[in-house]
A and B are shown apart, each in its own frame.
Chain A
Amino acid sequence: MKVLIPGIGGLLARNVARRLLAQGHRVIGIDPRGWPGAPEKIELHPVDIRKRAAEQVFRQARPDAVIHMATISALLADAEERYRINLGGTRAVFEYCATYGVRQLIFVGRHTYYGAGPDAPLYHTESEPPQELGTYPELADLVAADLYAANALWRLPALQTAVLRICYTLGPSGHGTLASFLKGRVVPMVLGFDPLFHFIHEDDAADAIVKALSSNARGIYNVAGPQPLPLSLIAHEVGRRVLPLPEVVLAALVGRAGLPRLSRGALAHIKYPIVVDASLLRKETGFKHRFDELATARAFADAFPSGGRTSPIPAPG
């Protein structure tokens, strides 16, 4: 099978690409960032997904399946750029897929879609609408991309579409929102709050995406592996000290002292949990995680022993 991966330069996407290659698939990648040292067999196109050159890749390669991983999180770019990449790019991918006869499309989204708030339930199911967007407008472009991808299920019935909402990834690469938050020696927390964090080993996350492809999944799926853990316990497991600060102090420090400027909504993500019910994925694709929550934390801790750089506040990623 010919599989095209927009956003192949990202860490998770690279892991997915290696797995597909090992399974004997032909892999084509699109990413303006490139992928230095990529396996030779992978055909790389360092172009922007919204430009004509990207459409030409679809036109010439005629992929059977597309795994769309070219979305970015709030920390990396300003609002305009995020909308351009996340929503504009997603729209382009779906249009190319429809035009050039792609049979299967996997949109890789994030579990932060559901939002974090005091009245939100634990274990979100796929049927729930996004919440708390009012307090966290920086999430809007990713939520819009997710909803746009999901409506392809009825808009483009010939395209086998799967929308994956993956929880935080963690592992030896140190990539991802949770990993960046845990990298410093001290993990800042909101005093009196200790939310559950749902995370999955980065290898398991890549396996889940490949599994969704091979089982021809159609629909919306939460992706998670083992049970969630309280943030303080995760910090302890990876050998970090927690620094609980009153919310007003933390809010005042954000944007100073090396911490990124963030909205009120971002603080909600370290006050309240976002935990997902991933039973549908397990049932329909047979996905099983290999790393439990403690092994996953250990894999990160071994690669990043305590004593690294100072940590930022997490943004959805």
Chain B
Amino acid sequence: MGQIKRLHEKLTAREITCVELTQRFLDAIENSNKELNAYITVTPETALAQAKAVDEKIARGEEIGLLEGIPMTLKDNISTKGIATTCASRILTGYKPIYDATVYELLLKEGVVMLGKTNMDEFAMGSSCETSCFGGAKNPHSLDHVAGGSSGGAASAVGANLAVYGLGSDTGGSIRQPASFCGIVGLKPTYGAVSRYGLIAYASSFDQIGPITHDVEDAAIIFDAIAKYDERDSTSQGSEAALPTLYDAIAGKRIGIANQYLNGVREDVKDAVLEAARLYESMGAQIVYFDLPELDFALPCYYILAMAEASSNLGRYDGIRYGFKAEHYNGIHDMICRTRSEGFGKEVQRRILMGTYVLSAGYYDAYYKKAVNLRGAIVAAFDRAFEQVDAILAPTAPVTAFRSGYLFGEETDPLEQYLSDICTVPVNTAGLPAVSVPCGEDSEGLPIGMQLIGRKFDEKTILNLAWQYEQRGYQAKETKWGVKL
């Protein structure tokens, strides 16, 4: 049984009150957040008020829903009415949204307890959480290593038992890679499955919100709660529920392994993924090796498009309507330039510049337009693959968690960060769903993750496959942190 169902039983059996449960999490955050830096904002008043309402309902003898009273957390790019939402950027200093994101609205209706907002790379641009203006979140398996990024705070918080689950966002791997680095589960839904209303935009044709959880069942429960059509996001469509078929047998399923996904992947990571493939075979699934040469250009294609969209989306930060504003200036152009130069961090500025470059006259056709059309080729290649297989198995990242500071060291090429996203970005480029689950550990005890990639709006198949693996495959190690229940 997953952690959410287990806690739900404890609450309904009155083994623990919701206020007690919430207070234990708040105490654990108080004790550990200095070291882990998983949370940017903790919201004890909100959480305890929400918990109290659940206890009153239980006391009245009313039934509570599965998610009711379960303490959770939101990445700090998901809007929360009246609660600071920073995107881990100086430019949003003091900003408090005046509306809730749809995902939070949906979860509020379920009666959740919101513990706070989690750390991330600034505007979700990064792979280690270290571009956060608050400093990066640490890996609960080793404080010398990063939690991953960009949803590093959410993965650190869940991995360290400082929340039962968290919502993150995934533009190029930002849910799956930190989940993989922290030895937990992360689901990036199909583009359009979950509403982006209230998610502060990075690259709008890639961004998706999804759950970061301890186990696959929890991911399915959260996914089913948030994958709903929302008229406020014109690209939202909802998706089919995953829970009804989660525990089904998988005999006869065809799982593909694209040879290109294994290129350049560290040997121990590759071995762990192939070991999982053998386990699937023993459960009656069929493993099919195939070629997906389009993966070779997915990474530059993704970065061109994501940076172009980012440069446009981040044009709105001008110091006039919200957030940080430069103190001294002379004229409006000077004010906007100073505000943006002082408010955005280095990596965000680099991506805005690059995005502006590929969209500028003379370069638009060679870069942006070409990348858009190559995106079409990547979509078509995955479509062809899914005529042969039900899911694709791949490593989530080519390596395990980076040592803190490594990506931004003097010796490290700025491209290295981008190259490390090689396994995750093709999924976003094609708009597909993918779930990362722990499948091993390296010689230092750091977790290894694998991802199952599915057809569009077929989260149910990949979650079913992931759940079956979780029952018989590698068992993720608990960390020493947080609330043990």
Q: Do A and B come from one complex?
A: no
Give chain A's interface residues, CB within 8 Å of chain B.
Answer: none
Give chain B's interface residues, CB within 8 Å of chain A.
Answer: none
